[in-house]
Structure 1
Amino acid sequence: MKKKIAAVLAVLGLTACGNGNSGEPVTSYADTAAETNVISQTSETSAAAVHDIDPEAEGRGLEGIPYFYSPRAEEVVFVPSEETVKFNGRHIEHNDICYLSYTCSAVRFNMTGDRVEAVLVSNGGAYSSRQQGWIGVEINGELTKRIRLEDGEQSYVLYEGEELKNAEVAIVKLTENQMTNTGIKSITCNASRIAPTAEKELSIEVIGDSITCGYSNEAEGPEYGFNCDYENGAATYGYLTAKNLDADYSLVCISGLGLISNYTEYVGEKEDYLLLGEVYDYTDTNFEQRRGIEPLSEWDFGEGSDIVVINIGTNDYSYTGRDEDRQYEFYEAYYAFLDDVREHNPDAEIVCTMGIMGAELFGQIEEAASDFSRDNSDEHIHTMKFDYQSEEDGYGGDYHPSVATHKKAAEQLTAFLESLE
């Protein structure tokens, strides 16, 4: 893994904690539209139906086979799919709408064109006015716009301006899973070329709770509590680590989430609604349970991720306290969860961590990781304790880590991952 990460960084000309995206567009290809079989678009027919894929794209070594190709810019309407975009993170289809599931779940595509608009569906206001969803728009890896979504179905202009030359455009969910729903009904581009962004050489999955979600990380202090308006997933340690390593990513995280108990106000009083084990194997448990969808959709892990980071246990401690029996219960559940993670990610380096808001159960995590590694002859299980957040870096809502703390945590995690043999 160390060699693989180092090789990727060397190609990019980056240090371990550098910017994981140079901001340069992907190299565009020569205009050979005259040689391609392009059928003119009509207003009555969808772009996907009337435009052939550029037949010479693969032979010319393009990073992504175009979904749409034309000698001139035209209005193209499409829905996110494997044919049209690259997905980061989990997503779920419901009523012909693509819902982005967890923090920083995103769709990415390369485009030559000058305008992008999307019809988005949100029901943040169904919970409370302080829980409206936010999305971010990235152009070549830079967050250029943040949009607070309105209730229901609305159209939003994501980009309008100079022609982008084969640039990567991304729609990124900035707020967390259980607070808001963010669906993409359609994307409209004025473009001459659209293609899914190419897959990266590395992939990382980060599993966690409110810390990983970025719970109120932009709040000016702990007294602000939770508010989606203060939450920026693109400033979380998991997302920043993925950028540092130029890796594809998936964050699986819910505020308050635990392994044997979610956050509880009273030590010894278990809160076991929707624990990590009921979330990880499924695409979006929250989404489907609220709609009464059965059975739950199992997530397709494919070949698994190259790196899996498990940052869980902070909420479990609110239940276990110092009680040895309850802490042993956590140890047993952690050992079993490692087995589940390994089954879905057979070749991954698995990093078991906690500590940003306290490391009271880190000893049990170390023991579970060591025992699992020994019992299964698995040399790719690691432990790393995050540095505890510092008052000088400020606090987010309810004493959660600030943006400054997330940045430092990303630097620490990136350096640790680079060191793995």
Structure 2
Amino acid sequence: MNLLSKLTFLPPCNQVNHHYQFDWSASGFQFGFSGKSIELQITSHHTLYGPVILAVFVDDEVYQKIDLSEGSHAYTISFARNDIMHLKIIQITELQYGFFQLEDIQVDGEISKWDKTHESILWIGDSLSAGYGLESDTTPLVFNTHFEDCTHAYPYLVSHALNTTPIIIAYSGNGILSRWIPETEEKVNDEDILPSIFPYDLEENPSWVIINLGTNDASYTRGIHEREQRFQKLYIDFIQTLKTKFPNAKFLLCYGLMEETLLSSVKNVAKETSSLFLRFETATEKDGFCFASHPNKASQLNAANTLIHFIRTHNEETL
């Protein structure tokens, strides 16, 4: 029997040559299980920054993490209990550092279907949405994928709290107009810019589309009016495309948390696209930072609580 048919796949997921491919943060699969062990046959492709990392959840608690080796390998997960468990296995690192394909699953036990929640939220963002650096302090000089875990970033926290499926399209260092550039650079960096690489073939119908972009664009716009106008134009174009794709979703633009240079520009974009807007409190040194001066887990949790309150309030008002 093909046990893959008993899995519920968590988006985004694509079928490639009879295998299931997972690229983005928090994508993976879930199922019910009772038995001794599970063997996963997985092919992983990753960069020099470290392995693709999976988190195995049992009944919503982290059971173990798996560092995937390059190429096709078998991974065994063993259990000491025999009652029915709800298992969720997701990628906690982001696409630009690698992706994986599930080729097969074998079990010593029984698999049962565990459907995902009916409601979903589409999150679009950068390192703040991907959980970049949250597993490290400020001391390391070079990034490693072990520093990243999307389940501690506000998109996953909010979705979990609201019992919705997260669809996280997050790409560290990315933006609308330009990726992050150092102060010594003047030229825009639009390689693999997010509106170009967004997976427009998504089949999901999210109830919310929540976007937090602009932090990296600010490294290029630098308060220059013409650049800020270009940022706004491209952001408006992106949202209008997304609104055509997801006509039934509520749109919310967020900004802050790490810097506020483009705050007024993002507010203008929200107004021009009839989207909602929410400002995050900007993390300070007093709040504490993690790797590369990013907001730490406490700041991410504060942002999550702000969003949870906002979404619940707005949902109640629109009933």
Common fold: TM-score over 0.5: yes
Pair member with larger Rg? 1
CA positional deviation for 1:224: 4.1
Q: Out of 277, 282, 289, which is 2:195 matched to?
A: 277
Q: What amino acid sits opposite 1:183 in the alignment?
A: Q
Query: Matches of 2:206 and 2:16 in 1, distance apart?
Result: 26
Query: Matches of 1:118 and 1:193 in 2, distance apart?
Result: 13
- 1:137-286 matches, within 5 Å, as 137-165=56-84, 167-195=85-113, 197-221=114-138, 223-266=140-183, 268-280=186-198, 282=199
Q: What amino acid sits opposite 2:76 in the alignment?
A: V
Query: Matches of 2:158 and 2:260 in 1, distance apart?
Result: 21
User: CA 1:224/1:144 → structure 2, altered by over 3 Å: closer, same or farther?
Assistant: farther
Q: 5+ residue gaps in structure 2?
A: none
User: What per-residue deviation string (whole Å, max 9, x for no partner) do you get for residues 365-389 of structure 1?
Assistant: 111111222xxxxxxx210011111
Residue 341 of structure 1 is matched in structure 2 by: 242
Query: Matches of 1:119 and 1:216 in 2, distance apart?
Result: 29
Query: Matches of 1:159 and 1:247 in 2, distance apart?
Result: 28
Q: Out of 265, 279, 282, which is 1:385 matched to?
A: 279
Is 1:395–2:297 an aligned residue pair?
Answer: no
Query: Matches of 1:205 and 1:411 in 2, distance apart?
Result: 18
Q: 5+ residue gaps in structure 1?
A: 1-46, 49-77, 283-297, 374-380
Say how many residue pairs are matched: 314
Is 1:300–2:202 an aligned residue pair?
Answer: yes
- Contact residue 35 and residue 79 of structure 2 kept, 8 A: no
User: What per-residue deviation string (whole Å, max 9, x for no partner) do you get for residues 289-328 of structure 1?
Assistant: xxxxxxxxx51334x2001110000111111111001100
Is 1:369–2:270 an aligned residue pair?
Answer: yes
* Counterpart secondary structure, 1:339: helix
* Counterpart secondary structure, 2:79: strand
Most deviating of 387-396 and 357-366: 387-396
Most deviating of 113-122 and 359-368: 113-122
TM-score of the aligned structures, taking structure 2 as reference length? 0.93
* Counterpart secondary structure, 2:14: strand
Residue 315 of structure 1 is matched in structure 2 by: 216
- Contact residue 359 and residue 385 of structure 1 kept, 8 A: no
* Counterpart secondary structure, 2:181: coil
- Contact residue 89 and residue 101 of structure 1 kept, 8 A: no
CA positional deviation for 1:225: 4.1
Q: Out of 101, 109, 114, which is 2:36 matched to?
A: 114
User: What per-residue deviation string (whole Å, max 9, x for no partner) do you get for residues 144-163 of structure 1?
Assistant: 11111222222112232211
Most deviating of 402-411 and 351-360: 402-411
